[in-house]
Amino acid sequence: MSLSIEPMKFCHVDAVSEIEKKVYPTPWTKFAFINEIIDNGFASYYVALYNKEVVGYAGIWVVLEEAHITTLAVSPKWQGKGIGKALLQHLINEADSKGAVRMTLEVRVSNLKAQELYKKFGFVVCGRRPKYYRDEDALIMWLEKLPVRKLALEHIN
């Protein structure tokens, strides 16, 4: 079986919310996701599906020539299988197709796994936001030049 990445729909929000609660200490609400996919014209959100099960999700805002990754998460039982990498590549490809030339994100200082993933794609730390998260600072990372290599989606065994 292979992984597919599709636009997030209302029917995916419950599964996305469950992953959100498992992965983040201060999770977004269902309403926040619904608002993003229905009412935010700058936003694009995607789900990673394996056998129709939502195993991860990610989102970006594209405003003029800049893309901002708003979220990226993989269900704990599916981590380490290339899903985060596939989602990140999908966001980069989408941002490029929408005319973005650079991309940014915030990541928890303690989230070394995510930082390593972003660095593999060329993101560099350019600053710090004190108490960006209620309990922790965030690193600001930038990818200064899109597009980045385009990878095929990985197959999950």
Chain centroid offset of residue 142 CA: 14
The answer to whether residue 116 is catalytic is no
The pLDDT score that the predictor gives to residue 149 is: 55
For tokens 């991860």, what's the residue?
A: 56
Selecting among 45, 46, 57, 118, the annotated active-site residue is 118
Residues forming a β-bridge with 53: 50
Residues contacting residue 70 through CB under 8 Å, at least 6 positions apart: 36, 43, 59, 60, 61
At residue 122's C-alpha, the angle toward residues 120 and 126, to 5°, is 120
Q: Which CATH superfamily is domain 4-143 in?
A: Gcn5-related N-acetyltransferase (GNAT) (3.40.630.30)
Average pLDDT on 128-155 reads: 80
The pLDDT score that the predictor gives to residue 42 is: 96
- How confident is residue 1, by pLDDT bands cut at 50, 70 and 90? low
- Residue boundaries of the structural domains of the chain: 4-143
Is the pTM above the cut of 0.85? yes
H-helix or E-strand spanning residue 67: strand 66-74
What does the pLDDT look like over 68-126, one tens digit per residue? Answer: 999 999 999 999 999 999 999 999 999 999 999 999 999 999 999 999 999 999 999 99
The answer to whether residue 132 is catalytic is no
Selecting among 66, 106, 136, 154, the annotated active-site residue is 106
CA atoms within 13 A on the CB side of 145: 1
Q: What is the pLDDT of the chain when averaged over all its residues? A: 92
Kind of pairing between the strands at 102-108 and 136-143: antiparallel
